[in-house]
Every structure is written in structure tokens, then in C-alpha cells.
Amino acid sequence: MIAQKYENGFDPMESRKSSPIRTRKEVLYTARVVTTCGREGASRSSDGRLDVKYSRPESGGIGTNPEQLFAACWSASFEGAMAIIARKMKITIPEELAIEAEVDLCSSDKGFFLQARLNISLPDLDHKVALTLVNAAHLNCPYSKAVKGNVGVEINLV
């Protein structure tokens, strides 16, 4: 790792220094993906089930982009975390559950960064129960844990 000095003592790796990789007890799944040519290239998984082309949003190309993929993956993972928590709470998640994930690619004088919103619709579920469910899912979702302290996040119950 290359050590860099930033203005005002900013160190983008500081949060990672205090959170070393957890000791693995059991690997449940390993995704293997090869990406070529970055934002104008493609990614393909080792099993061939994922095969995507990329294009920059402003280019008008037909490919997707990393922010869309992250939004899709995070919202799917979050919904999975909600299902696990709902079973533990002995509640039924409405079939109309919807999660709209928005991931912004931003730029500042310190470089590029992400910010994100998860807008969660749980129709016909008591508001207090829905809040408890969403907050617990946010604490347990692997993607939520991965972005903690690194990405500005808003979780909205809509």
C-alpha cells in the first residue's frame, strides 16, 4: 500500500485500518469475475452467468455502468437481509416490497466518491415494524457493512 499525505490530515484508508478483514469462519460463496477495459469494457463471471458490457452514462452507449450494478446488487442483498430479519421477527414481508437503490458517482477536489440512497417501500406493514425491520437489515446486510464509513448512505422508508 502506498502511504499518501492529504490536506487536513485526511486519510481515505483510516477507516480500514481500524477494521481489519474479519477472520473467515466459513466462505459461503466466492464470485469470480474478469473485467477488461474498465468503464468502456466488459465483465464476465467464471461460470458465464454474468456477461455485461459497460458504457459511460453520458456516452449514450447500450452498456451498463458500475453504479447501476452496485445499486442492483446492494438492493438485492438488502432485500435478502430483510427476509432473514423478518423470519426472526416472525412477520411477513408484503409481496409488493420494492427497493429503489440510487447510487451517485460524485467528484470533489479530493477525487471521486459514491453516495447512495435506498428507498424502501413496505406497503401495508405497520410503520414502526417496518422501521425496525429496515434498521436491522441495514445492520446485517453485507453490502451495508461494506460501505459503512466509506459511502454516504440514506435509508428511506417510503
At 71, phi and psi to the nearest 5? Answer: -60, -45
Q: Which domains does the chain have, with CATH numbers?
A: 28-64 (2.20.25.10), 65-158 (3.30.300.20)
Per-residue pLDDT of the chain (158 residues; tens, 9 = 90+): 334 343 434 444 444 444 555 666 899 999 999 999 999 999 999 999 999 999 998 898 999 999 999 999 999 999 999 999 999 999 999 999 999 999 999 999 999 999 999 999 999 999 999 999 999 999 999 999 999 999 999 999 99
- What is the reported pTM? 0.82
Q: Which residues contact 63 (CB under 8 A, 6 or more apart)?
A: 40, 42, 52, 53, 54, 55
Q: Where are the beta strands (DSSP E) in 29-145?
A: 33-36, 42-45, 51-53, 98-108, 111-121
* 156/158 Cα distance (integer angstroms): 6
Q: What grid cell was written down for 67?
A: 453504479
